[in-house]
Structure 1
Amino acid sequence: MVKGRPDGAPRLEHKGYNRGLILGLTMAESMLLLVFCLLLVAAAMISAERSRRYEVERKLEKAEQQVALLERKRSEQTALIVQLQSKLVSGNLSAADKAVVEKQWRELVLARETLDNIVDEGATPADLQSLSKVAAVLKEHNIALAAAPDEVNKLLAGGTGGGVMHDWPPIINLDDAKKNYFQSGSAELTGTFAQLLGTTITDEIASNLSLYGANIVEVIGHTDEQPVARGTSNLDDTIINAMDGKLPVSSLQPADNAGLGLARAIAVANVLKANPKLKDATILPMSAAQLILPGDTVTSGQRGAVESRRRIEIRVRGRTAPVAVINAGTTLPADVH
């Protein structure tokens, strides 16, 4: 539009396009961007569909090859059957052919009789398949199939034949190297360990007690062979009161690894005794000191700090004999002194 100016010269007025509100783009630009995104999505879908089609084509090709192989074998077998039939009809069988036919016929009759006997005894073809798997396992362990019943009877009877396993309760092994359950040289529990003892570990112990009909929990403290840096021990004066909860575990001052292992076992045992889930069990703290390596072997000497050897083992068992309570004034038999 041309308007007059005061000086008489014409003036051209410019008016810009209004911008859209989508990322500052015009409507046309927004539509182009949308079309571009749709093309990307379509390309991804087409690519995925093409991959699926290639996979289906590959499987189809493999199936066709297998069908062709089976068809070739069927043709060969059909030709062989026709050949045998013609020989049988004509009676033109060689001695070798007759021997083969008779042998195969006898095997077929024997297999049929064997199958009938198995079915009469209540077995099924599926049982035979399972038996073949059992036979393979027995062969791997050098056990003859005919000897399998005797080996099974030994296992069921809890015999002591070679390789017989017993259903012992599992050992709960708490490795200090993984969780830092104790401070170095101390029997005090870390907060994390105390919480773990009161929840997950207690639940596992209670489950084992119920499953195996046990009522004794043995808590065994193990240490490494690093000497304890303390001159004297006060365990003789404090250990019973600490076990009864009258003294804190921090009051125990062992001077050797045997005492340190026992002090740590007492710390764990006190937490377990306080849990209502184990109220019917007897908790026994014990120490293996530095003698037993992980894996239940005796050490031959391994100096230094070895975290994997600092551990607590928890075992459950049944009581082997009635509890005999001996009072201070009771006279012991002569063979006990």
Structure 2
Amino acid sequence: MNSKQLKYAEIFSFIAFVFFVVLIFYQQTNQRLQGELVEAKTKHKFPPNITIQNTGKYAFKLGQANLTPQLEQFIHDTVVPKIKERFKNYKVNIIEVIGHTDGVEFKGISNLDKRLNVVAGNENRRIGSLKAGSNTDLGLMRALAIIKALQKEEEMIQFFKEKGLGNKPMFRAYSAAQLYNTDGTIATSSAKENPSRRRIEIRFTYHEEN
């Protein structure tokens, strides 16, 4: 091999080496990005909701938000274990509770503007001291009643302590009133009773610490 051929061979070897380095870098970068994508998908994958149908022995009394003894027992026996299972298997730290009603018109004089924060902020304040003036009020009161019941569950309090979430995770109460059907579509305007739409929905999200 003459000097010219040797020079070409060296150039070719250098180009092949650079190509190999670039290929390795590309593969490693692609693997890293794929891993980050999988992590992101897992991180933002939320567990299935828990729905409590407000019918039969679990139904609230008309226009009220007090829990029946049967509903309290159902929360203890069924809902709490399901919440613990969600927290074990998913990265979540917020429990959102949404109260849904049917479209039966509700008439009353609300005291939520004066009393809601007092009742929500003090575990000894009874939910029965709140008065609804609309289905929106009623849905919120019932969501708050579920939250207050969950906050008293010793088994769950201990579980969250072990998870490093303190005495309680972040709870948020919302009302959807009569707005949504069970499949999530907007309900038609109807004043007829529809017990299947009366429900409490519990869902889970995650709040990233700053």
1:192 aligns with 2:70: yes
Q: Which residue of 1 aligns with 2:113?
A: 236
* TM value normalised by structure 1: 0.45
Deviation at 1:177, TM superposition (A): 2.5
For the residues of structure 1 that align with 2:98 and 2:86, how far apart are their CA atoms? 17
Contact 1:219/1:314 (<8 A) preserved: yes
1:301 aligns with 2:179: no
Q: Which residue of 1 aligns with 2:169?
A: 281
1:10-62 deviation line (CA, Å, top 9, x unaligned):
xxxxxxxxxxxxxxxxxxxxxxxxxxxxxxxxxxxxxxxxxxxxxxxxxxxxx
For the residues of structure 2 that align with 1:295 and 1:302, how far apart are their CA atoms? 17
Q: Which residue of 2 aligns with 1:292?
A: 180
For the residues of structure 2 that align with 1:241 and 1:157, how far apart are their CA atoms? 44
Task: Kindly report which structure 2 residues correspond to 1:1-337, keeping only aligned pairs within 5 A, or say none.
Answer: 167-230=45-108, 232-243=109-120, 244-276=122-154, 277-278=156-157, 279-320=167-208, 322=210
**For 1:263, what is the secondary structure of its paired residue?**
helix
Contact 2:151/2:168 (<8 A) preserved: no
Q: RMSD of the alignment, in Å?
A: 2.1
For the residues of structure 1 that align with 2:96 and 2:77, how far apart are their CA atoms? 18
Contact 2:139/2:177 (<8 A) preserved: yes
Kindly tell me the number of residue pairs found equivalent between the two proteins: 160
* TM value normalised by structure 2: 0.70
For the residues of structure 1 that align with 2:209 and 2:196, how far apart are their CA atoms? 35
Question: Which structure is richer in relative contact order (CA contacts within 8 A, separation 6 or more)?
Answer: 2
Contact 2:58/2:70 (<8 A) preserved: no
**For 1:301, what is the secondary structure of its paired residue?**
coil
**For 1:308, what is the secondary structure of its paired residue?**
helix
The 4+ residue runs of structure 1 with deviation greater than 4 A are none
Contact 1:272/1:283 (<8 A) preserved: no
**2:115 partner letter:** T
Contact 1:273/1:283 (<8 A) preserved: no
Q: Using the aligned pairs only, state the percent identity.
A: 32
For the residues of structure 1 that align with 2:71 and 2:92, how far apart are their CA atoms? 25
